[in-house]
Amino acid sequence: MSPLALAVLGLVVGSFLNVVIHRLPRMLERRWWGDVSAQLADADAHQDAFGRPPHPVLSEAAAQVRQGVDGLPALGLARPRSHCPACRHRLAWYENLPLLGWLRLRGRCAACGARIPSRYPLVEALTAALFAALGLRFGAVPEVLAWCGFAATLVALAAIDWETTLLPDDLTLPLLWAGLAAAALGWTVNPGAAITGAAMGYLVLWTVHAVFKLVAGKEGMGHGDFKLLAALGAWLGAQSLLPVLLLASVIGATVGLAMKAAGTLREGRYVPFGPFLAGGGLAVLLAGPQDVARWMGW
pLDDT at 153: 98
pLDDT at 269: 63
Q: Give the integer Cα–Cα distance in Å for 286 and 179.
A: 16
Distances (CA, A) of 121 to 92, 99, 109, 271, 291: 17, 5, 14, 23, 32
pLDDT at 296: 63
Q: Give the integer Cα–Cα distance in Å for 26 and 77.
A: 11
pLDDT at 79: 87
Q: Give the integer Cα–Cα distance in Å for 284 and 243.
A: 7
Query: 234 and 194 in contact (C-beta within 8 Å)?
Result: yes
pLDDT at 155: 98
Q: What residue type is assigned to position 140 of the chain?
A: A
Q: What residue type is assigned to position 2 of the chain?
A: S
* pTM of the predicted model as reported, rounded to 2 decimal places: 0.92
Q: Give the integer Cα–Cα distance in Å for 65 and 41.
A: 10
pLDDT per residue, tens digit, the chain (298 aa), is: 789 999 999 999 999 999 999 999 999 999 999 999 999 999 999 999 999 999 889 989 999 999 999 999 989 998 888 888 888 888 888 888 889 988 988 889 888 988 989 999 999 999 999 999 999 999 888 899 999 999 999 999 999 999 999 999 999 999 999 999 999 999 999 999 999 999 999 999 999 989 988 888 887 788 999 999 999 999 999 999 999 999 999 999 899 888 888 877 776 667 899 999 999 999 999 998 777 766 666 5
Q: Give the integer Cα–Cα distance in Å for 237 and 81.
A: 39
pLDDT at 140: 84
HEC readout, 154-205: HHHHHHHHHHHCCCCHHHHHHHHHHHHHHHHCCCCCCHHHHHHHHHHHHHHH
Distances (CA, A) of 202 to 56, 158, 205: 43, 18, 6
